[in-house]
Structure 1
Amino acid sequence: MHHPAHKLMYRAFAGPSDFEAMVACANASFAADQTGWFRRVEDVARDYAAFTTCVPERDVWIADAGDEIAGYVRAWHWAQADGLQLYSQFAVVAPQWRRQGIGKALHAWLESRQREMAKAHGPHLRHAHHAFVTQGEIARAALLEKSGYRPERYFFTMERASLHDIADFSLPDGLEVRPVQPEHHHAIWDAHTKAFQTHWGYCPPDEADYQRWLVSQVFQPHLWQVAWDAQTNQVAGQVRAYIDDTWNAGNGRLRGWTEFVSVGEPWRRRGLARALISRSLRAQAAAGMTESALGVNSQNGSGANRVYEDCGFVVTRRNCVYRKPIQWSTSE
């Protein structure tokens, strides 16, 4: 039997010595909510070393149960292109420590930290708390709704259960897929950024984001399908699939991820996305994968959901972005 919650101590992040207990807590929470997520100490160490808008010693709060971590939260900031300042959150509570008010206490700390962050950015801007919640995180969704958060947008997880029977959509005329060379990396990145400018929640990346991408887990150019316009030598469209070995090991699957799908404005509505996705699925199969998945905005304006269905993907989960405006009284 676990000690009652009053034996807990709330404290700041103490450094890499916390990673092992944090990972144990997060993985137990992920499993309880059937998120499919799975972290290793080295994943967390790599992420924490690369943060640019989060200082863990200041932006992480831990419920310490002595020999284990019962739960923790992390805050960070980003801004949409339209100027909306968003204060994002990560929150987990291990299942054996739930229903004791720990999630609520951590959340109260998180919101107060985010109000401080918002104040530092200036009262003249628009600010909001932001949380991405997966379908299984029922307790977390309830806590957020009780705290005044509202669903802002739904995101689907779509899956293709096998990599057989991949349709052969041919490339539109004048376009060709070229093997990715290092000197193409920036052009590929810039083309994707430009294609996404009109999307909901767009956040303009900077050079630090680009440098981080080059060493990130999703950077697997041997799997990418990048189409170029033969006449103008511009990147017309791309699908940057990747394989997440940690996810696969944790879930006992051989799944590839068909992600970072974009087509530039001049080349849209000609079937390019379908052609690149079908090539990507074949590349994932050739790499030994037996299934594929992707995430998509449920209200995507470019008809992406339809394209993915045509390529054999079906919706398996509905996840939600919750937001709540940040307001503070002038007396604070």
Structure 2
Amino acid sequence: MSEERVALPTADGLEFRAITAADIEPWLALIQRIAAVEKPPWHEQRSDLEDVFASAKNDPVLNTLMGFDAGGTPRAWGRVTKNLDGAKALVAGGVDPDFRRRGLGTAVLRWSVAQAGRRFADDGGGAPLVRAFAEESNTGTSALLAAGGFAVVRWFTEMNRPLSGGLPAVELAEGLRIVPFGPGLSEQVRLAHNEAFADHWGSEPRDEEAWGFVVNHEQSRPDWSTAVLDEATGEMVAYQLASYDPAVLANEGRDEGYTELLGVRRQWRGRGLARALLADAMARFKASGMDHASLGVDTENPSGALGIYQRMGYTATHRSMAWDKAL
């Protein structure tokens, strides 16, 4: 990877530099100020920011950016991530609500796109593609991305289901068994996930580092997470990994268990395994005092996941979009 940094933006009253581990607290505070206004269903947590400095693939010295005011408070940030042989680079960032309409969002986005282009040039890969995500309700971000030459290429739907009343039964074919997720199963589940999502839009295999960031996340709930094994062979055939975000109760009035990842290996599809795992998850959520089960889905998922969730009583709450720009 090139050690030459893309030129920093210039902006009146702000000084830009790379984000360091010492910036985690003020960075998190900036993200929380942004979230208080934009009200996204999720935003980065402390462990997500800590992971930035644990990654061997995306050097923060080259791939992060933060703008500080004269008092040393961060007011804007950006980050670029890319797998070495990945087909896309992801860009993310934000601007303090009190510092908007000063061109900071545009400056950060331009820097992020330039750094993404540098990553592709260093990798020697195929046609460079940059991707960003935005909530449908966030019209400001959508306008910024559109002005920057991005276009919507995919829609995603967040869904939830009340846990009051009866829950669906857990029905599994003979010879299959749901088991609790734990460290001893983590690598098998990672490999099953990479296989299950190989035909999903935008998915790239998760290596040990990326997988560790998922299963060790501060919101991860291994006690709600499970896998399905073939008893005859011990083969891992499906899995459900859950998480809990306490901010949802404060912001939206729901105490929910969230299905973070759900997958069925292709040769095992069509046997009701996704339904069984979700029914089991609902029971676990409810037993822990949750009042809703929630998840997100690629609206055009080739496995027909959206229809499965709808038939199980999940309804849409909001949507988000993937925006792409070819360089």
By the TM > 0.5 criterion, same fold? Answer: yes
1:258 aligned counterpart, secondary structure: strand
2:260 is paired with a residue whose SS is coil
What is aligned with 2:55? 51
Aligned equivalent of 1:282: 283
**Residues 16-54 of structure 1, C-alpha deviation per residue, up to 9 Å, x if partnerless?**
3322332222112222222133455x4354222322332
Q: CA–CA distance in 2 between the matches of 1:223 and 1:136?
A: 30
Q: Which of 88, 91, 94 does residue 89 from structure 1 map onto?
A: 91
User: Aligned with 2:83: secondary structure?
Assistant: strand
Separation (CA, whole Å) in 1 of partners of 2:11 and 2:93: 20
**Cα distance in 1 for residues equivalent to 2:48 and 2:193:** 27
- State the number of aligned residues: 317
TM-score, normalising length from structure 1? 0.87
Equivalent position to 1:102, from 89, 101, 104:
104
The equivalent residue for 2:21 is 16
- Matches of 2:133 and 2:164 in 1, distance apart? 29
Amino acid in the other structure paired with 2:64: V
Q: Distance in 1 between matches of 2:266 and 2:137?
A: 36
Counterpart of 1:154? 155
The answer as to whether partners of 2:131 and 2:322 remain within 8 angstroms in 1 is yes
AA of the residue aligned to 1:141: S
The answer to whether the 8 A contact 1:9-1:63 is kept is: yes
The percentage of aligned residue pairs carrying the same residue is 25
- Which residue of structure 2 lines up, in the alignment, with residue 32 of structure 1? 37
Deviation at 1:245, TM superposition (A): 3.8
Report the 3-state secondary structure (helix = DSSP H, G, I; strand = E; otherwise coil) of the residue aligned with 1:73: strand
Residues 166-177 of structure 1 aligned to structure 2 (within 5 Å): 166-177=167-178
Specify whether residues 153 and 11 from structure 1 end up closer, same or farther in structure 2 by C-alpha distance, changes over 3 A only: same
1:266/1:108 CA distance change after superposition, 3 Å: closer
The answer (yes or no) to whether the contact 2:163–2:291 under 8 Å persists in 1 is yes
Distance in 2 (CA, whole Å) between partners of 1:6 and 1:182 is 47
User: Which residue pairs with 2:118 in the alignment?
Assistant: 116
Amino acid at match of 2:313: G
- Residue 270 of structure 1, CA deviation: 1.9
* Residue 34 to residue 213, structure 1, CA distance change in 2 (3 Å): closer
Unaligned runs of 5+ in 2: 1-9
Is 1:271 aligned to 2:276, yes or no?
no
Check conservation: 1:13, 1:58, Cα contact below 8 A: yes
RMSD: 2.3
What TM-score does the superposition give when structure 2 sets the normalisation length? Answer: 0.88
What are structure 1's unaligned runs of at least 5 residues? 327-332
* Equivalences for residues 190-269 of structure 1 within 5 A: 190-217=191-218, 219-245=220-246, 248=249, 253-269=254-270
Distance in 2 separating the partners of 1:304 and 1:219: 22
Question: Tell me, what secondary structure is at the counterpart of 1:240?
Answer: strand
For residues 203 and 19 of structure 2, the distance between their equivalents in structure 1, rounded to whole angstroms, comes to 33
Helix, strand or coil: the match of 1:274? helix
CA contact (8 A) 2:160 2:316 kept: yes
* Secondary structure of residue in 1 paired with 2:53: helix
SS of 1:241 mapped into structure 2: strand
Kept in 2: contact 1:176–1:228 (CA 8 A): yes
- Residue 104 of structure 1 deviates from its aligned partner by 1.0
Residues 16 and 231 from structure 1, CA distance in 2 versus in 1: closer, same or farther, beyond 3 angstroms?
closer
CA distance in 1, matches of 2:113, 2:43: 26
Spell out, residue by residue over 1:229-275, the C-alpha distance to the aligned partner (whole angstroms, 9 max, x if none): 12222122221222234555666642210231111223211222111
- How much does 1:131 deviate? 0.4
